[in-house]
Structure 1
Amino acid sequence: MIDEVRLDLPVRAALPSLRAALDEHGTAVLVAPPGTGKTTLVPLALAGQVGGRVLVAEPRRVAVRAAAARMASLLGEKVGDRVGYAIRGERKPGSRVEVVTTGLLVARLQHDPELAGVDAVVLDECHERHLDTDLALAFTVDARVLRPDLRLLATSATAAADRLADALDGPVVTAPDPLHDVAVVWSPPPRPVPPPQGMRVEPALLDHVAATTRRALAEHDGDALVFLPGRREIDDVARRLSGVDAEVLPLHGGLSSAAQDVVLAGSVRGDLLAPDVSGGPRPTPRRVVLTTSIAETSLTVPGVRIVVDAGLSRQPWTDHARGLDALVTVLASRSSATQRAGRAGREAPGVAYRCWSEAEHAHRDRDDDPEVAHADLAAFALALARWGTPDAGGLALLDAPPPPAFDAARATLRGLGLVHDRATEHADRGSITSRGRAVAGVGVHPRLGRALLDGADAVGARLTAEVVALLATGGPGRSDDLEDRLRAARSGDDPGWRAEVRRLDRALREAHTRQATSGARLPDVTLATGAATVVALAYPDRLARARGADSREFLTTGGTGVELGRESGLRGQEWLAVADAARGPGDRVARVRLAVPIDEDLARTAAAHLHTDDEVVDWEDGDVVVERRERLGAIVLARRPIPKPTARALAPAVRKGLEQEGLGLLHWTDAATSLRQRLAFLHTALGAPWPAVDDASLLARADEWLDLSRVRRRADLARLTPPLTALLPWPEASRFDELAPTHVTTPDGRRVRVDYADPEKPTVALKLQHAFGWERAPELAGVPVVVHLLSPAGRPAAVTADLASFWGEGYRQVRADLRGRYPKHAWPEDPRRP
């Protein structure tokens, strides 16, 4: 088929080496920068080499349609002849080459691990490291055990292909770099802009991106491609570019297929793009295409000579501890910036304006993290279980899933009943259940798949499909009220939402089993009740109750604190079913982004597996709690006191309080404190058998010295004097007062108290005259006492642990200083004599 294409692109030079590598090894890695033709010419060449069908997998739906259209046009055909494509909910099969998403390839491999009828697989843009890309690679490598004749080619736009080659056990073939020169212009904002937090991007940065775009259009010819993190920023920058002498067009995955085709075909028709983002469509010689990272590598936007890069990306991120997942805005890596800049040099020399400084660029990450490092892994784990490798053992995964995230994902699947919770005679622990297979076949997140199948029986198939489609796509508008969003979707023209509703409706009709969780079908289900039911089925751990009347703050069944925005229309609700919440850096609680009111009865039904009614004897909020507590997860529904708890039942709670707050809860008299300090001194000076008496050591031996039988509450502890004498070792206890006396006697017969606050240095404080006659400081347990010598007025005069040296040297200066002020006191020349 390649012989029919006259277009000469640089990858042609690599085709002979590529054919030889595939003939010899069956696998290979092709490293080819953007613009080489790897996405279009290589599949056509492979189709001619293998003589059969070639399956090409792209990480993005936009790229799937664009690649198929480009290959068909090169052959002078329409899509669906020899070249076709398939994305979720849409398919035009081709007889020789079919382009699919990596997610769809994974699904086909699950259905048919041998890929019957397919002779070669091309995994394009493997460097992007999406979860589906990693799974498609691992599963296809595994499939070659069954199909050694299956050719497998992985392509990458970056030179770091060694790990890919190791996974495929094949050689690396490199195509020449066709890029024209691209000049880089460093264009940081005039004033520092705070980094992104969560989804938020500073308006000042968007102002600067728009200003830089205007500057670039004034300084250079050609169309401009502006990289922004998401759809909201695209809309915001489009408004800022109002009036610019160019047609401003968006390009992102949420556009209709027709609108995407307009941009990728180089057309200036704006009538297919809605809403009007540039003050009305008017054909002009120039275009400004505002895009997300979908245009970074696998798409060609014709006419582009200018790139303006905001320097930001969006990536999925999951807070596994709180069960929250979201998209977050991050700084684009250096390799990502290089790919973006290359867009300006696909057809001719170009220029790339980077909205940050060269110094900042040097400190950015070299590469983007793989999605497996920070994303929700529930769908990933379900795919592994369906493949028969729930622990991922033996698969050619480029990166193993992080254990905490993987464990959390598998726990989620067990909670949904999608994998076996324990080993049985017929199944291993973690293997997929029949319910899991049904959910996996739906093609949405496992939580949403569970809600789709169970919700259809509870509230009806159509409403369930609508709500799940909204949860999957986000739907139109920015309201945090799911009902508002659903009404807007029904009355509007959101092609992505409507297509997803149709696909999910078909999936429900094709499902062979229905598993209702709420009993019989609810009669006359309202929109609110139906939406709440579906959200509750998907996220039972996000059912939330207000912390107080008219409070913006809620506590979820999963134990996470969430709050509504100040202007939210959901304020005043007692219960919410939260579909989406995000907790940004430094935020005390997560902000609710999408929720629907739910009543308590429905919440109890949807989260019945979280319902408990237990006796609670614990230390909470600084005191002993003894009650029967009904809970829905972390939410306390009712409390009832338990009369007359036994001391044995209370003891663990009291001990917990002591461990959390320390032994300061007890009544430490001066005598008890002194005894503890003396024991600490002896343990330091002599060691065993004298016991350690720090908090941790005392708590470890609490049963030996502390009687908690009469403690019912915190106040009882405050009246309990620690009886530490029980810890005195025998027979050594008989020498306790000798080794660590409370007082020492001076030469003139006075008793001076010994201070043991520092267990390494016992001290005494006395007037200097009372120490006359001591040749050296007294020793306790072999440790010299530190002597604080005071003036006749009681003011510090000297401190020493070597009294003999002090008498010989320091005393003369002290005597000279004080004798004149205190002439009535004795100041002998040799104080060692009484």
Structure 2
Amino acid sequence: MTRFDLERIGSGLPFADALPTLREALAATGTAVVQAPPGTGKTTLVPPAVAVADGVTGRVVVTQPRRVAARSAAHRLARLTGTEPGGPVGYSVRGDSTVGRDTRVEFVTPGVLVRRLISDPDLPGVGAVVLDEVHERDVESDLAFALLCELRQLRDDLPVVAMSATVEADRFARLLGGSTGDGHAPAPVVDVPAVLHPLEVRYAPPPATRLDARGVTDGFLDHVATVTADEVRASGHDTLVFLPGVREIERVVRLLSARLGEAAEILPLHGGLDPTAQDRAVSGSGRAGGGSRPRVVVSTDLAESSLTVPGVRVVVDACLSREPRRDTARDMTGLVTVSASRDSCLQRAGRAARLGPGRAVRCLSEQEFAHLPSHRSPAITTSDLTTFTLDVACWGAPRGEGLALPDAPPVGELARAESVLRGLGALAADGRATDRGRDLARVPADPRHARALLDGASLVGPRAAAEVVALLASDRRSPGGDLAADLRALRSGRAPDARAWQQQARRMERIAREGRAAGSPAGGRDGREDTAGLVIALAHPDRIARRRGDQYTFASGTGAVLPPGSALVGREWLAVAEVGRAAGRAAGEAGAVIRGAAAISRDDALDAASPFVNDDETAHFDGRSLTGRRVRRLGAIELSSTPVRPSHDAAVEAVSTAVRAGGFPALGPDDDALALWRRLALARRELGEPWPDVSAAGLAERLDEWLGPEIAALAQGPTIAGRDLGPALKRLLPWPEAGSFDELVPERLKVPSSSSYRVDYPEPGSDGAPVLAAKLQECFGWTTSPRICGGRVPVTVHLLSPAGRPLAVTRDLEFFWREAYPGVRAEMRGRYPKHPWPEDPMTAEPTRDTNRKR
């Protein structure tokens, strides 16, 4: 059995002093949380220390958040043990594995560990697990941590160590120890303080903005290159530059090469490089002739904490980060450039002070730095969770319920992911994985890509399906958005990334051949132009799109436009793999641009998205008549529409929709029906149950009950007549209370002259009062204002002139006659001399007649 020489491996590493504390923690609880800043040696020293701990007999699996970090850590530890990767130390990442029978420490990515856990939760042959850089909070790291916390309840012989470079150690210690209410103590924390030399921090704000609607501005990248070149010339030290993505790295590398020439070695570092180029950037052996040329490594944030670049004494930080974001409205998920968090910037700066006094330059103002977010957002709260949702369903914890996740996933995003997976046949109605889902989960790819690979192999052949899926999984940015053209370039070997794509395609082809059912056809369309579109449609049936003018409508209901000059312009049907946000008119009304797609035929679109195809009968009510159509759709894309006589259910739905939107008036009632509606509304407002709710929602809820016969007739062709709506509305009157309705809420009220007048009731939903309008002379002697609803509601009386114009509005007739009438009499008797204006109206005889007729 391999014995690691910890004294030799830990020579000069600050973490060596913490080894006794780590051993005590593992001996006591089998768990530990290590908190140690970057550069203290935890990644190098903890795995072999765990491997030689008492009771650990199997392989120690160590996670690193990125493939390049896993390979680099394995190479470094192997070098310190005097061996090569594949011996006592190995690694396994997507598409690349170097392990042997004697491997005791294996570095893997969190995704590899999650696949193994789901395939065999007991982790046979594994003696311990070390989760490194858990503070980075990507989805697979969080999930691997949660699954191991649950596995520890079944395998208490499995030591688990979580390592973090930030202050979240206590949080992970509580979760790992099971101290969430079950009485367990937190896992022990092994805290190693930073050992840094003096660090000078300088701020170099750019003359223009860092970000605009398109992303990082070219002017800001020029500024970063200028600052870096000045620092290299002034110090002569190896320099590490932090930028958010590949485009920015490539531009700054070009600018630095032009400005520094042979005075420095300029090296890019990002996940898209081949392993040789990555190893060159992190090897620390770039200086030729004993260190005559400084090295400038231009990197993404993978060099922030999970990867060490040796020899660095200067850091130039753009203070930007690329984080996953989910745009639910447009059904897009992608990486978005944002300001980095303060804790990330602090870790980046610390890289300059590991070997001696260092210098960090932040390309923003000190005031801007103070306003940066304190911590980065956990990826589980902002990412597409389709893979996560399938993984937890296969584990037996649908939606992650009951798992010790550091942060709960958003409910809305889980629901969307479940909908996608049900469309793939991967989830049952209760959220648990189907056999189909378990087949997809065994493929080391996004479930949508896995579906395209396995189903596409039977339609177009394993090789063709694998090539398209390898293209989709490569995250390459298509220059023109035409993925079929990209596929041709990759097949010919002209594309710079053709070699990496070919390796991935061969790997996917092996998986496709193993996963294809015995006896299934090999496919007869290998090499055809439409292969790419069909396989993409299998991966993203919800993104099948049909042209509507200048815009494409997706099966999901969202829309996007093609970029100007795209070779796909004019194609009727597209299978879309990538959609991005774009500013201005270029994004169309939908605000989205198609970044990667391939043409597809209508028949292939229908085959690939067969679960989305449905025939639906719709009806529309315009206030009088009803029309019906039978519509065939692919999701939200209308394929055909035929006029039909609407069914009763469709008619009820159409009328109900109209009523919910416009209330009772949407049915076109006559005046009598409107008056009855207002009377019912007042009875409901003042008396409550059992009087019916005649609001828009209330009427729509009971529509078939009170308007059923009229709707049945409407479906046969005639319009609804306004005069029919009053009798229909009366069907809502409760029995036996209906007998007192006219007394409680009268249609008309009698005035002292023996005339009766209609009561005007307020609009439903308002708090207005009923109104009675009558000529003043007809109300002589009326001293008590009328009340309705059993005396609960006073009626407002409008007293009119002989010409029918309002003279007064009152609810207190006695007060009016006594206080206001004298003034009205003085003004009106000269204007209307033919009508009576007695001095004492409370004793005068009410009349409708003039003085002559009397």
TM-score, reference length from structure 1: 0.84
Partner of 1:104: 112
Q: Are residues 738 and 216 of structure 1, via their aligned partners in 2, closer, same or farther at CA, if it must alter by over 3 Å?
A: farther
The answer (yes or no) to whether the contact 1:179–1:342 under 8 Å persists in 2 is yes
Q: Work out which of the residue numbers 763, 779, 794 in structure 2 matches 1:784.
A: 794
The answer (yes or no) to whether the contact 2:315–2:351 under 8 Å persists in 1 is yes
The answer (yes or no) to whether the contact 2:67–2:93 under 8 Å persists in 1 is yes
Partner of 1:483: 484
Partner of 2:72: 66
Unaligned runs of 5+ in 2: 178-186, 845-854
Partner of 1:226: 241
Please give the residue correspondences for 1:26-65 in structure 2 after superposition, counting only pairs within 5 Å.
26-49=30-53, 53-65=59-71
- The CA deviation at 1:224 is 4.2
Partner of 2:323: 315
Q: Are residues 206 and 793 of structure 1, via their aligned partners in 2, closer, same or farther at CA, if it must alter by over 3 Å?
A: farther
The letter of the residue matching 2:248 is E
The answer (yes or no) to whether the contact 2:647–2:715 under 8 Å persists in 1 is no
Partner of 2:274: 256
Q: Deviations over 1:191-222 (max 9, x none)?
A: 667776xx844556556655665676688774
Q: Are residues 16 and 812 of structure 1, via their aligned partners in 2, closer, same or farther at CA, if it must alter by over 3 Å?
A: farther
2:323 aligned counterpart, secondary structure:
strand
The letter of the residue matching 1:264 is V
**Is 1:711 the counterpart of 2:721 in the alignment?**
no
Q: Are residues 708 and 334 of structure 1, via their aligned partners in 2, closer, same or farther at CA, if it must alter by over 3 Å?
A: same
Q: Deviations over 1:133-177 (max 9, x none)?
A: 123323444555665443321101112122322333221110122
Q: Deviations over 1:568-603 (max 9, x none)?
A: 221111111111224579973643211100111222
The letter of the residue matching 2:8 is E
The letter of the residue matching 1:492 is A
Q: Are residues 588 and 789 of structure 1, via their aligned partners in 2, closer, same or farther at CA, if it must alter by over 3 Å?
A: farther
Q: Work out which of the residue numbers 378, 385, 405 in structure 2 matches 1:370.
A: 378
- The CA deviation at 1:811 is 6.4
The answer (yes or no) to whether the contact 2:780–2:841 under 8 Å persists in 1 is yes
- The CA deviation at 1:34 is 1.0
Q: Deviations over 1:451-484 (max 9, x none)?
A: 2233233323332222111100133642211012
The answer (yes or no) to whether the contact 1:476–1:485 under 8 Å persists in 2 is no
The answer (yes or no) to whether the contact 1:89–1:503 under 8 Å persists in 2 is yes
- Name the CA distance, whole Å, in 2 between partners of 1:624 and 1:360: 61
- Name the CA distance, whole Å, in 2 between partners of 1:683 and 1:105: 64
Q: Are residues 807 and 202 of structure 1, via their aligned partners in 2, closer, same or farther at CA, if it must alter by over 3 Å?
A: farther
Please give the residue correspondences for 1:550-629 in structure 2 after superposition, counting only pairs within 5 Å.
551-582=549-580, 588=590, 590-612=592-614, 614=615, 616-619=617-620, 624=626, 626-629=628-631
The answer (yes or no) to whether the contact 1:226–1:289 under 8 Å persists in 2 is yes
Please give the residue correspondences for 1:451-470 in structure 2 after superposition, counting only pairs within 5 Å.
451-470=452-471
**Is 1:636 the counterpart of 2:638 in the alignment?**
yes
The answer (yes or no) to whether the contact 1:542–1:577 under 8 Å persists in 2 is yes
- Name the CA distance, whole Å, in 1 between partners of 2:137 and 2:202: 29
Partner of 1:177: 194
**Is 1:755 the counterpart of 2:760 in the alignment?**
yes
The answer (yes or no) to whether the contact 2:31–2:160 under 8 Å persists in 1 is yes
Partner of 2:304: 296
- Name the CA distance, whole Å, in 2 between partners of 1:285 and 1:615: 71
The letter of the residue matching 1:13 is D
Please give the residue correspondences for 1:148-167 in structure 2 after superposition, counting only pairs within 5 Å.
148-167=156-175
The answer (yes or no) to whether the contact 1:560–1:589 under 8 Å persists in 2 is no
Identity %: 47
Q: Are residues 103 and 520 of structure 1, via their aligned partners in 2, closer, same or farther at CA, if it must alter by over 3 Å?
A: closer
- Name the CA distance, whole Å, in 2 between partners of 1:820 and 1:229: 89
Partner of 2:852: none
Q: Deviations over 1:522-551 (max 9, x none)?
A: 15x33422212221222223222222xxx3
- The CA deviation at 1:21 is 0.8
The letter of the residue matching 1:451 is A
TM-score, reference length from structure 2: 0.82
1:722 aligned counterpart, secondary structure:
helix
The answer (yes or no) to whether the contact 1:647–1:711 under 8 Å persists in 2 is no
The answer (yes or no) to whether the contact 1:667–1:720 under 8 Å persists in 2 is no
- Name the CA distance, whole Å, in 1 between partners of 2:654 and 2:467: 49
The worse-fitting range, judged by mean Cα deviation, of 725-734 and 659-668 is 725-734
- Name the CA distance, whole Å, in 2 between partners of 1:147 and 1:689: 63
- Name the CA distance, whole Å, in 2 between partners of 1:828 and 1:406: 80
- Name the CA distance, whole Å, in 2 between partners of 1:223 and 1:766: 97
**Is 1:655 the counterpart of 2:656 in the alignment?**
yes
Partner of 1:277: none
Partner of 1:503: 507
1:579 aligned counterpart, secondary structure:
strand
The answer (yes or no) to whether the contact 1:529–1:598 under 8 Å persists in 2 is yes
- Name the CA distance, whole Å, in 1 between partners of 2:266 and 2:721: 73
- Name the CA distance, whole Å, in 1 between partners of 2:825 and 2:16: 101
2:715 aligned counterpart, secondary structure:
coil
The answer (yes or no) to whether the contact 2:314–2:352 under 8 Å persists in 1 is yes
The letter of the residue matching 1:49 is A
Q: Work out which of the residue numbers 5, 16, 27 in structure 1 matches 2:20.
A: 16
- The CA deviation at 1:30 is 0.5
**Is 1:698 the counterpart of 2:699 in the alignment?**
yes
Q: Are residues 715 and 133 of structure 1, via their aligned partners in 2, closer, same or farther at CA, if it must alter by over 3 Å?
A: farther
The worse-fitting range, judged by mean Cα deviation, of 719-728 and 4-13 is 719-728
The worse-fitting range, judged by mean Cα deviation, of 799-808 and 531-540 is 799-808
Partner of 1:493: 496
- Name the CA distance, whole Å, in 2 between partners of 1:539 and 1:158: 38
- The CA deviation at 1:504 is 1.9
Q: Deviations over 1:666-718 (max 9, x none)?
A: 12222222222233233334445544432222333334542222213998247
- Name the CA distance, whole Å, in 2 between partners of 1:365 and 1:466: 41
- Name the CA distance, whole Å, in 2 between partners of 1:335 and 1:259: 29
2:529 aligned counterpart, secondary structure:
helix
Partner of 2:283: 265
- The CA deviation at 1:28 is 0.7
- Name the CA distance, whole Å, in 1 between partners of 2:440 and 2:69: 27
The letter of the residue matching 2:795 is V
Partner of 1:279: none
The answer (yes or no) to whether the contact 2:454–2:516 under 8 Å persists in 1 is no
Partner of 2:181: none
Q: Are residues 208 and 676 of structure 1, via their aligned partners in 2, closer, same or farther at CA, if it must alter by over 3 Å?
A: farther
The answer (yes or no) to whether the contact 1:58–1:100 under 8 Å persists in 2 is yes
The worse-fitting range, judged by mean Cα deviation, of 314-323 and 438-447 is 314-323
1:289 aligned counterpart, secondary structure:
strand
Unaligned runs of 5+ in 1: 271-282, 424-428
- Name the CA distance, whole Å, in 2 between partners of 1:14 and 1:456: 53
The letter of the residue matching 2:711 is L
The answer (yes or no) to whether the contact 1:189–1:208 under 8 Å persists in 2 is yes
Q: Are residues 71 and 750 of structure 1, via their aligned partners in 2, closer, same or farther at CA, if it must alter by over 3 Å?
A: same
Q: Are residues 99 and 735 of structure 1, via their aligned partners in 2, closer, same or farther at CA, if it must alter by over 3 Å?
A: closer
The letter of the residue matching 1:176 is P
Partner of 1:531: 532
- The CA deviation at 1:384 is 3.5
- The CA deviation at 1:443 is 1.1
Q: Are residues 774 and 171 of structure 1, via their aligned partners in 2, closer, same or farther at CA, if it must alter by over 3 Å?
A: same
How well do the aligned residues superpose, as a CA RMSD in angstroms?
4.0
1:711 aligned counterpart, secondary structure:
helix
Q: Deviations over 1:236-268 (max 9, x none)?
A: 444565743365432210012222222223455
The worse-fitting range, judged by mean Cα deviation, of 327-336 and 150-159 is 327-336
- Name the CA distance, whole Å, in 1 between partners of 2:388 and 2:206: 40
Q: Are residues 802 and 186 of structure 1, via their aligned partners in 2, closer, same or farther at CA, if it must alter by over 3 Å?
A: farther
- Name the CA distance, whole Å, in 2 between partners of 1:610 and 1:640: 19
- Name the CA distance, whole Å, in 2 between partners of 1:266 and 1:158: 26
Q: Work out which of the residue numbers 90, 93, 103 in structure 1 matches 2:96.
A: 90
